[in-house]
């Protein structure tokens, strides 16, 4: 029994077969208590809500036919991967969604849990879990309507694994929203030199230019892993006003909306999930010859 207990204790650092980079985790651990200071280190992420929440909200509203007055995202299950202190989970929760926020840094989850606890509505609608994406895949196959990975993919160790896992936990025709930073000369100058070293918009060392992801690469990975990319738009941060806006060019920050393909053999498996694999295998077996 003791053995069992030891193995089920969550370890803050995941290692192999993981998209989580342990060096990245250490960086965020140091700033865990700063998440909810709107004027602090995470100010730019707070103001990013002004464009990313409407983006997610309006995209989902345009795809659905029912509208619940006062709770536009009611009935939608969202997974926020790399949720940090819950900055994006809370607005989505207020709009009616059932949100699961996961983050590998224990302190982040603790901060997020504490912040939502004083609001009974949010406390019910949002669940936080200290976990990497891979760790929840098994118990969450095709569980979520929407996955949000905002300012996360530039920190993961293996992007393709990450995308594959997203696909596994997403329902067919489910939406994936990603915001991240492009890998260009401009993003090096503005995103690293200016933002981190000169103006202190982002804590120094937060980003590594090598891990920035060009939209073409992201699109390619998405399309080859069962996603259909619906929209790619650029984002621009104005450090003087502290606000974000949309722009055509994706040379700095950008956002992507992709939809997991619903067609394929998965169309058969609507009733009994456990038998899905067997049906799929027999279907392919039949046509293989």
Partner 1 sequence: RAAASAPPLYDVVVSGGGMVGSAMAAVLGHDIHFHDKKIALLEAGPRKDYDHMPDSYSNRVSSISPGSATLLSSCGAWDHVCSLRLKAFRRMQVWDACSEAMIVFEKDDLDDMGYIVENDVIMSALTKQLDAVADRVEVFYRSKAVGYSWPLPSHSCDTSPWVQIELADGRRLQTKLLIGADGHNSVVRKEAEIKNIEHQYDQSAVVATLHLSEATDNNVAWQRFLPTGPIALLPLSDTASSLVWSTSHDHASELLAMDEESFVDSINSAFWSNINHSDFIDTAGAMFRSAISLLKPSGTAVRQLPPSVAKVDPESRAMFPLGMGHATEYVQHRVALIGDAAHRVHPLAGQGVNLGFGDIACLAHHLSAAAFNGSDLGSLKHLLKFETERQRHNVSLIAATDVLKRLYSTTLAPLVLLRTWGLQATNALPPVKVRI
Binding pattern to partner 1, positions 75-114, x when CB under 8 A?
A: ---------------xxxxxxx-----------------x
Enumerate the H helices of 33-158 as residue ranges: 43-63, 89-94, 106-117, 120-125, 133-137
Enumerate the H helices of the chain as residue ranges: 2-8, 22-30, 43-63, 89-94, 106-117, 120-125, 133-137, 159-169, 185-186, 215-223, 276-288
Nearer of residues 64 and 224 to partner 1, judged by Cβ: 64
Q: Exactly one of 44, 72, 142, 203 binds partner 1 (CB under 8 A); which one?
A: 72
Q: How many residues bind partner 1 (CB under 8 A)?
A: 25
Candidate segments 19-27, 31-39, 158-166, 280-288, binder of partner 1 by CB under 8 A = 31-39
Nearer of residues 123 and 186 to partner 1, judged by Cβ: 123
Residues 38-67 close enough to bind partner 1 by CB under 8 A: 38, 40, 47, 49-50, 53-54, 57
Helix axes 106-117, 22-30, angle to 10 degrees: 40
Residues 148-187 close enough to bind partner 1 by CB under 8 A: none
Tokens of 127: 């669940």
Nearer of residues 15 and 62 to partner 1, judged by Cβ: 62
Q: Which residues contact 136 (CB under 8 A, 6 or more apart)?
A: 102, 129, 169
Which residue is listed with tokens 């984002």? 235
Nearer of residues 46 and 211 to partner 1, judged by Cβ: 46
In whole angstroms, what is the distance from residue 20 CA to residue 89 CA? 20
Nearer of residues 146 and 156 to partner 1, judged by Cβ: 146
CB of 123 to partner 1, least distance (A): 9
Nearer of residues 70 and 274 to partner 1, judged by Cβ: 70
CB of 165 to partner 1, least distance (A): 26
Which residue is listed with tokens 């090598």? 210
In whole angstroms, what is the distance from residue 103 CA to residue 82 CA? 5
- Footprint on this chain of partner 1 (rule: CB under 8 A): 36-38, 40, 47, 49-50, 53-54, 57, 69-72, 90-96, 114, 118-120
């Amino acid at each position: 029994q003791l053995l069992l207990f030891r193995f089920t204790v969550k370890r803050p650092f995941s290692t192999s077969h993981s998209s989580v980079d342990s060096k990245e985790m250490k960086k965020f651990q140091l700033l865990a208590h700063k998440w909810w200071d709107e004027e602090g280190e995470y100010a730019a992420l707070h103001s990013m809500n002004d464009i990313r929440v409407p983006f997610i909200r309006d995209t989902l509203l345009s795809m659905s036919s029912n509208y619940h007055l006062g709770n536009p995202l009611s009935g939608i299950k969202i997974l926020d991967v790399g949720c940090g202190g819950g900055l994006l989970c809370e607005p989505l929760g207020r709009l009616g969604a059932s949100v699961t926020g996961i983050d590998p840094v224990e302190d982040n989850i603790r901060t997020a849990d504490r912040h939502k606890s004083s609001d009974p509505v949010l406390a019910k609608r949002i669940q936080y879990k200290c976990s990497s994406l891979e760790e929840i895949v098994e118990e969450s196959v095709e569980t979520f309507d929407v996955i949000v990975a905002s300012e996360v993919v530039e920190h993961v160790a293996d992007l393709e694994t990450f995308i594959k896992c997203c696909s596994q936990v997403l329902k067919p025709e489910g939406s994936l929203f990603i915001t991240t930073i492009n890998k260009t000369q401009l993003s090096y100058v503005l995103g690293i030199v200016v933002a981190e070293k000169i103006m202190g918009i982002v804590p120094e060392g937060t980003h590594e230019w090598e891990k920035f992801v060009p939209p073409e690469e992201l699109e390619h990975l998405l399309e080859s892993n069962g996603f259909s990319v619906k929209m790619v738009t650029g984002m621009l941060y104005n450090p003087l006003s502290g606000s974000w806006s949309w722009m055509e060019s994706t040379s700095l920050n950008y956002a992507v909306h992709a939809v997991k393909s619903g067609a394929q053999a998965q169309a058969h498996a609507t009733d009994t999930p456990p038998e899905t694999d067997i049906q799929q295998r027999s279907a392919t077996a039949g046509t293989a010859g």
